Amino acid sequence: MPRTPVLEIAVQDVAGVRVAAEVGAARVELCVALGATGGLTPSVGLVEAVVDAARSATHADGRDLPLEVHTLVRARAGGFVYDADELGVHLRDVRALVAAGASGVVVGALTPEGEVDAEQVARLVEAASGAEVTFHRAIDTLVDPLEAVETLCGLDVTRILTSGGAERSVDGAEQLRHMVDVAAGRLQVMAGGGVRPVDVATLVAVGVDAVHLSAKGIVAADGGVGGGAGAGVEVTDPAVARAAADALRVATA
């Protein structure tokens, strides 16, 4: 039977988890340095704090809702081809983050030839010990993402996060539709990348299982010459998160 698409919000702190819970999101993807790098692995301490917050968070109408915490595993910025040392770090992080209470991990690894690194992904799935595994937007850098979907279907990956290869998911909607067709229910396809609330209905219409956005805002905070100067602090904007959740409810009504 068709699944009702759910909302996932990328967050970077405990406050973001509370916002996600209040608007009724099903999951958060926890990472750090999202705006500057596209996201990096959060610390174990942050994961533990976020998991605790998710367990005690409630919807704005007072309901207790399960909120899953999935953590990004990406030790550095840049491309997604990793050597043995980097894979070793990622394996350690997967085990540590699942042990800290994460419901799932978000990973990605490619070969120098521009294909899914099936061997590395298989090892990361094994390290997750049954926790859900999402393959992230490394898939959007590939020449043939449909072949990648087929490969990932055979690796026990739970879902893929993709913009359909476009800068913004709404512009990759037709490719997303093709990816959904190839997945054929064997794994979930989650639309993410430059998503705005106004895009949600279009993304739901192509059959995705989830919509992912950061709902990110910037709060002024000058770190000085040794702390990022006036770059500010990225936060989860409650108004944007609420608008996305409302758009999803309308699109799935």
DSSP per-residue string spanning 34-72: HHHHS-BPPPHHHHHHHHHHHHH-B-TTS-B---EEEEE
Instruction: Quote the tokens at residue 85.
Output: 């040392």
State pLDDT tens for residues 108-154. Answer: 999 999 999 999 999 999 999 999 999 999 999 999 999 999 999 99
- In sequence order, the 6+-apart residues with CB closer than 8 A to the CB of 126 are none
> Residues of the chain with pLDDT > 70: what percent?
92
Question: pTM of the predicted model, to two decimals?
Answer: 0.93
- Domain extents in the chain: 6-252
pLDDT of residue 1: 42
Contact indicator for 133, 156 with CB cutoff of 8 Å? yes
Q: Which pLDDT value is given to residue 229? A: 55
CATH number for domain 6-252, candidates 3.40.50.720, 3.20.20.380, 3.30.420.40, 3.40.50.10320: 3.20.20.380
